[in-house]
Amino acid sequence: MRDNKELFLATKRICEELEEEFEFSASAQEVSFLAIYFASELERNVAVERNRPTLLIVCAEGMAVSNMLQVQLNQLFEFSSISTTSLRKFNQKMLNQFDYVLTTIKIPDMTSKKIIRIHSYLQKEDMQVLQEHFQMKLVTNRKQAIDKFSEIMNIISENTQITNLSKLELDLLDVLTKQPKKEHIELPEIEFKEQLIVTKKHVNTWQQAIRLGTEVLFQTGCIEKRYTEKIIQNLKAFGPYMVIAPGIVLAHASPKDGVLKDSMAVTVLEEGISFFDRYGEPVRLIFTLAFESKEARRLVEQLMKVVLNEEQVSRILSAKSHKDIYNYTKSAIYE
């Protein structure tokens, strides 16, 4: 106990106080055992904290996609802290402040081993890369984790027909990493009504598809015109990172790009349109988000659950009226 003299003396002092309170006696050997136990726990906690890196997520706007990734990463890995930012704010000083930087887009004029490129929605290949750097919550051995997860996925693939791989992967990882239920969090109300639902049989371009949702937000005083152009500009500059699941887009820009009030529009396309994304599936469902407050951004987590729920998405896409689309979407988010 020579290296933990202060801890031993503190333990001894507390034991003496407890002896008077509860009328028992602790020998010097018992005090030493207690001090050794406390020392080992302190060392273990320090080691655990040392293995929990600080993380920064960089996306084009640092809003919807980065918030969604933050939720997924918090479920799966051990971190000391996770922060998000937009590409326009990211700089060398930030790179130096964090242990790792995850990004869904190419960061120009900056290279570092700290920077890890991932998809806007975590896929199996992302998991394999991330486990080389971070500790998973479900097991202590990182190689064992990916091996077991891969083994489970292989068994399922061999014995069943998978219709939604992304959802299956998330559901399995959610079960494996399930934490105790948290207290219910009240979700904020935003401007979302039947008038903000758009349906269209055919569009010629993905730009036209984006404008359908932003136009109704503009007409109802939720955004400025420039918000539309910023979304299109970002998609041209950084690629289809807003396609967060097969056939589904979370269209958004920064609050500073013309958001007037927290709001959302939903666009359903009967025929769908290509966004030239990695899924290769025509986009039929677009959630156009215009979030200004931090409270409203909590809805992104709920939206993530909706877009990965095949039954809920199918219900929205097959709805016969604007009223049904509105009701199905509202209930799915706030259920």
Residues 239 and 272 in one domain: yes
| Total count of domains within the chain | 3
CA distance 326 to 316: 8
Residues 41 and 63 in one domain: no
Domain check: are 328 and 209 in the same one? yes
Q: What's the pLDDT score for residue 1?
A: 44
Q: Give the model's pLDDT for residue 158.
A: 74
Predicted confidence at residue 150, as pLDDT, reads 66
Starting at the earlier edge strand, list the strands of the sheet with 54-59. 81-86, 54-59, 100-103, 115-117
Q: Are 210 and 228 in contact (CB under 8 A)?
A: yes
The parts of the chain modelled with pLDDT lower than 70 are 1-4, 40-51, 137-150, 153, 164-185
Query: Is there a single domain that holds both residue 69 and residue 171?
Result: yes
Per the structure, the complete domain to which residue 24 belongs is given by: 2-50
CA distances from 60 to 50, 64, 194, 259, 322 (A): 30, 10, 30, 16, 31
Listed in sequence order, the DSSP H helices in the chain are 5-22, 28-50, 64-76, 92-97, 124-130, 142-159, 165-176, 206-219, 225-238, 299-307, 310-317, 322-334
Given this model, what pLDDT does residue 36 score? 75
The verdict on residue 189 lying in a domain is no
CB atoms within 10 A of CB 65: 24
Do 222 and 316 belong together in one domain? yes
Residues 313 and 201 in one domain: yes
Asked if 67 and 43 sit in the same domain, the reply is no
Collapsed DSSP state (helix, strand, coil) of residue 261: coil
Predicted local confidence at residue 139, as pLDDT: 46
> What CATH number corresponds to the domain at position 246?
3.40.930.10
| C-alpha–C-alpha distance, residues 196 and 217, integer Å | 7
CB atoms within 10 A of CB 218: 20
Per-residue burial over 71-89, b if 16 or more Cβ lie within 10 Å, else e, is bbbbbbbebeebbbbbbee
Same domain, 99 and 159: yes
pLDDT digits (tens, 9 = 90+) for 295-322: 887 788 888 888 888 899 999 999 999 9
Q: Is 67 part of a structural domain of the chain?
A: yes
DSSP state letters, 87-111: TTT--HHHHHHSSEEEESS--TT--
> Are both 46 and 64 inside the same structural domain?
no
| Same domain assignment for residues 68 and 106 | yes
User: Which one of 176, 207, 238 terminates a domain?
Assistant: 176
